[in-house]
Structure 1
């Protein structure tokens, strides 16, 4: 039976900690908080569990040194803050884990790194080798180069994807809130939700947005938990102050039961680590073929194309109302597709050459999207 004991006995854990749990109100690194977290993680590591730490805080740590009071909205300024803060953050982790004779390795990722099979395989090999060597990987989004078009958006989602990538036995999301509640926990009468087995348990739950220094909030944590549990990874969500209890499998926070089997890694990344560079609008027959019968997408079923993309890019597949139903890696540039619409591959091969007798998107490169992802 899937329960909290799986976290307590896990041999490989992904732990994610948010910016607000690591920094002061002034945006500087809180040494005591980091040391307290490392105390918990190091003891578990020395007991034999492999730990991957997904740590926010680079931008937040750079605010103070740059004289900024709040997280900047300007992308270039965010990147500058991350450049300053990331070095400070990793240096602090290095020093803190060294108290236990443990070494850390920095791994910076962007969503673009995961859009191509070779790239995410490289990330997987790197993380696996670090764990085999006894190193504690410190993973963060590479905010110094990530742009709005190629970013995970929050480290909660990144943590869920990393948990799948390294075949983790469990994931712990640490925040400044002790659990998931059905409303604002600061309001009287808000009820703590101790377990989530599926979407039914989240009906009527009000999810808050992000705080001052972070980009996430409870919405992204629930989304991350859904990604992880859908890949067979149990999740505990709680406050950083309860990290020791959470890692021990104690009754703290909110436990998300795993709800699915591990899908193919590439398709999980395609669904959750990429953004569609364009849209293809499908007629009803093509929607049924792709979604229900899991067929390849052929030009005959597409009625409209939007966006500027190249062959190999991820694109969203939409029904005639504009609702996204799937995402896939397209075989043609956007400029080529209008001439192909509504025509059979056999007709295209006769008119344009045999290289056009291939599908717009092969079924192996299509992932069906959950409507909750909208």
Structure 2
């Protein structure tokens, strides 16, 4: 399975590797350091070939189950956070021991969805990861399960890995789990009469026609839905993605000859536009008339107050807001230039009728991304 996109992943100088919970546990759900060491060996080989690698590692909650005497993955938030607290120690120590065999130092970076959504924390995380790479340390990134709320999450680190790939300017993202690629149905439920077709490459939305994605396992919270969504997110931002089985890690990292590859968009999205579209939390919404929707979506023009019919939310200048049409469908996201109270006095008014200090666009074209 050779393609220009597989070649790009094979030759990428900067790679983010996401490792799912099931890749680090036995079928019985026990955290397995032997599997982790096997993955570390494959990643070390890639680094020796000249690539920088950032690891996004799941498995903290699973690693905390046995030490706490639990019999299965907890379902309540407090126990999950307790398991994550214990498991994070075991997880990072295991990675440290695995890479210590190669005289490499690891650094742990714990993030929440809130960290990525806020511009200052987003930038600080970017700086930290860049500095760890510059100092030749291996960054082990994980969602901070001990403080993340149950509802505000990335989704088993799949979405986090896509965001991190763009955050560090990676040339490729490799998703490793118990799934050997994308199928048009669940291969575990396939039969002779109802086979599951393997999809080696996703070049665009048409390749996903008829694809049915499943949910995650009892140990992980991701599954194909999360992986597919995250792969498309990264690809849309301009990062090629490889989805492969952890058991094929050596081939995935060395030749990219296994799994499913997701082709990236031709032009890489700028860091700011990516943050606006995917990472930032929305603080409010602006409803646009038909003319403004056309100007924003089709003509990529700035949004003027004259085209806004209503607003909602408590936002301030510099916050990210949703732009919606008259049917309340989100058509774009952007960085608003005014506070909600100030913008409320400007709705529907032409620029010429506004004071000089209020003649800036409500959302400038450079800070606006259609969805």
Return the TM-score normalized by structure 1.
0.89
Query: In the TM superposition, what whole-angstrom CA distance separates every residue of 1:24-45 from its partner, at most 9, and x where no partner exists?
Result: 4665421111111111112222
State whether residues 288 and 324 of structure 2, in contact with CA within 8 Å, keep that contact through their aligned partners in structure 1. Answer: yes
Return the TM-score normalized by structure 2.
0.90
Equivalent position of 2:220 in the other structure? 214
Query: In the TM superposition, what whole-angstrom CA distance separates every residue of 1:302-339 from its partner, at most 9, and x where no partner exists?
Result: 22223333433222111111211111122334444433
1:275 corresponds to which of 271, 274, 281? 281
Q: Distance in 2 between matches of 1:226 and 1:314?
A: 22
Query: In the TM superposition, what whole-angstrom CA distance separates every residue of 1:174-197 from its partner, at most 9, and x where no partner exists?
Result: 011111111011112111111111
The answer to whether structure 1 residue 347 and structure 2 residue 349 are counterparts is no
Equivalent position of 1:165 in the other structure? 167
The answer to whether structure 1 residue 367 and structure 2 residue 366 are counterparts is no
The answer to whether structure 1 residue 3 and structure 2 residue 5 are counterparts is yes
The answer to whether structure 1 residue 285 and structure 2 residue 286 are counterparts is no
Q: 1:64 to 1:348 in 2, by over 3 A?
A: farther
State whether residues 2 and 258 of structure 1, in contact with CA within 8 Å, keep that contact through their aligned partners in structure 2. Answer: no
Deviation of 1:77 after TM superposition, in Å, equals 4.1
The answer to whether structure 1 residue 242 and structure 2 residue 244 are counterparts is no
Equivalent position of 1:372 in the other structure? none
Deviation of 1:227 after TM superposition, in Å, equals 2.2
State whether residues 130 and 137 of structure 1, in contact with CA within 8 Å, keep that contact through their aligned partners in structure 2. Answer: yes
Deviation of 1:290 after TM superposition, in Å, equals 1.2
Q: 1:321 is paired with a residue of what secondary structure? A: coil
Provide structure 1 residue ranges, at least 5 long, that are not aligned to the other structure: 370-374
Q: 2:345 is paired with a residue of what secondary structure? A: helix
Equivalent position of 2:127 in the other structure? 125
Q: 2:244 is paired with a residue of what secondary structure? A: strand
Q: Distance in 2 between matches of 1:67 and 1:130?
A: 35
Q: Distance in 2 between matches of 1:69 and 1:348?
A: 66
State whether residues 14 and 54 of structure 1, in contact with CA within 8 Å, keep that contact through their aligned partners in structure 2. Answer: yes
Deviation of 1:345 after TM superposition, in Å, equals 4.0
Q: Distance in 2 between matches of 1:368 and 1:342?
A: 21
Q: Distance in 1 between matches of 2:135 and 2:170?
A: 17
Provide structure 2 residue ranges, at least 5 long, that are not aligned to the other structure: none
State whether residues 155 and 226 of structure 2, in contact with CA within 8 Å, keep that contact through their aligned partners in structure 1. Answer: no
Q: Distance in 2 between matches of 1:314 and 1:217?
A: 29
Equivalent position of 1:311 in the other structure? 317
User: Could you list the runs of 4 or more consecutive aligned residues of structure 1 that deviate by over 6 angstroms after TM superposition?
Assistant: none
Equivalent position of 2:261 in the other structure? 255
Q: Distance in 2 between matches of 1:146 and 1:224?
A: 19
> Which deviates further from its counterpart, 73-82 or 299-308?
73-82
Q: 2:187 is paired with a residue of what secondary structure? A: coil
Deviation of 1:167 after TM superposition, in Å, equals 2.4
When the two chains are superposed, the root-mean-square deviation of aligned CA atoms in Å is 2.3
Equivalent position of 2:143 in the other structure? 141
The answer to whether structure 1 residue 205 and structure 2 residue 211 are counterparts is yes
> Which deviates further from its counterpart, 299-308 or 143-152?
143-152
Q: 1:364 is paired with a residue of what secondary structure? A: strand
The answer to whether structure 1 residue 89 and structure 2 residue 91 are counterparts is yes
The answer to whether structure 1 residue 225 and structure 2 residue 231 are counterparts is yes
